[in-house]
Amino acid sequence: MKNFRNIVRSTFVLAASIMFTNTALADWVLDSNNSNLSYGSIKNGFIGESNTFKKISGNIDDNGHINIDIDLASVDTKLELRDQRMRDIVFKVAENATAKLTGDMNLEAHHDQAIGTSKVIEATIGIELVGQKIDYDVMLTVTRLAEKKVMITPHGVIFLDVEDFELAGAIEKLRELAGLDTIATVAPMSFYLTFEK
């Protein structure tokens, strides 16, 4: 009887260990319904517009790698003609279906962070767009929303220079089609990314 109890106890401990390990190593999956990635554009020197993407997906894997896919065809500028021009002229979605946001972050290091609190961390994120990848050293805010739910936001504004992505010519073509004096070649980017485990 004692041996039977020991076997049962050992089996329970083993099962619990396996469950804990699987939970610990499970990916943090992006909650796309509670996440957003946007960029701004400035026209004629003072007209600002906020644009976003309706479809983003991704995760943070068990090695801490951030992998976010941005569906470029889902760009939303609040004007269909402008959306189409962005898809065809700037993003060329027939050749570049997605953009990517990548980086490294160990969310397990935040397991003892109190729910409802935020921490600011240093990180390097990569933006891959139309065949070009640029890395940015940034500050990010990690907010613990629940035991297995976090939100990541920039701590400050991230600026993208379209010339880094070899898109200056495409922006100039947009300017001509829209009959504008100028379109800024530096665009602010913002996001909030909610992950669940």
With bands split at pLDDT 50, 70 and 90, how would you rate the model's confidence at 173? very high
pLDDT reading at 70 higher than 90: yes
Mean pLDDT of 142-171: 95
Give percent above pLDDT 90 in the chain: 79
Residue 162, pLDDT above cutoff 70:
yes
Q: Would you say 133 and 126 are in contact if contact means Cβ atoms under 8 Å apart? A: yes
Coil, strand or helix: which one is 84?
A: helix
Fold of the CATH domain 27-196: Lipocalin (2.40.128)
Domain range summary for the chain, segments of one domain joined by +: 27-196
pLDDT for 40 equals: 97
CA distance 171 to 87: 12
Residue 14 clears pLDDT 50, i.e. is over it: no
Non-local CB neighbours of 15 within 8 Å, separated by 6+ positions: none
pTM confidence score: 0.84
Residues in the chain, total? 197
Average pLDDT in the 110-129 region? 92
Residue 40 exposed, middle or buried by CB count within 10 Å (0-12, 13-18, 19+): middle
Mean pLDDT of the chain: 88
Which pLDDT band holds residue 1 (cuts at 50, 70, 90)?
low
- The whole-number average pLDDT for the span 52-81 is 95
Q: What is the pLDDT of residue 25?
A: 54
Q: How large is the average pLDDT for residues 53-74?
A: 95
For residue 15, name the pLDDT band (cuts at 50, 70, 90). Answer: very low
Q: Which two tokens stand for residue 5?
A: 């109890």
Asked if the model's pLDDT at residue 133 lies above 80, the reply is yes
Residue 86 has a pLDDT of: 98
